[in-house]
Amino acid sequence: MIQLPQELIKAWDERDGAIVFTTTDADGTPNSIYATCVGLYEEEMIVIANNYFDKTMKNIQNGSRASVLFITKDGKAYQIKGQVGYHMRGPVYDFMKKWNPEKHPGHGAAALIPEAVYSGSEKLS
């Protein structure tokens, strides 16, 4: 795991709309979803609430690597790539439950553990 750069942490607070969360199946076929129930955990990981994962959950269970893509209000794109952890209890899960709307089930919390961070094509870390 790498430290998220301050530029990305500031940009996270300025994101516009949903993020795109991408995983891959065992054959390498990508699956992308829009996610709005997301949070930045301790400036270390991007957490995505599992409200209605289906293919995404199967991919996570099969050890998929993943990426998160988001855009800021001023149109700048950021991408984080890495491993995915999955939490059904503990601090990351409790963090997700604090902001995930009660109307959604919040079955678990997918946590993207960053290995590379980009702003557009520029590698930040």
Neighbours of 18 (CB within 10 A): 14
Q: What is the DSSP letter of 101?
A: -
pLDDT in tens, 65-110: 999 999 999 999 999 999 999 999 999 999 999 999 999 999 999 9
Return the structure tokens found at 42: 């301790």
- Report, in this order, helix, strand and coil percent for the chain, each rounded to 5: 20, 45, 35
Q: Which pLDDT belongs to residue 1? A: 77
Q: Which pLDDT belongs to residue 98? A: 97
Neighbours of 20 (CB within 10 A): 15
> Domains of the chain by range and CATH?
6-123 (2.30.110.10)
Q: Which pLDDT belongs to residue 26? A: 92
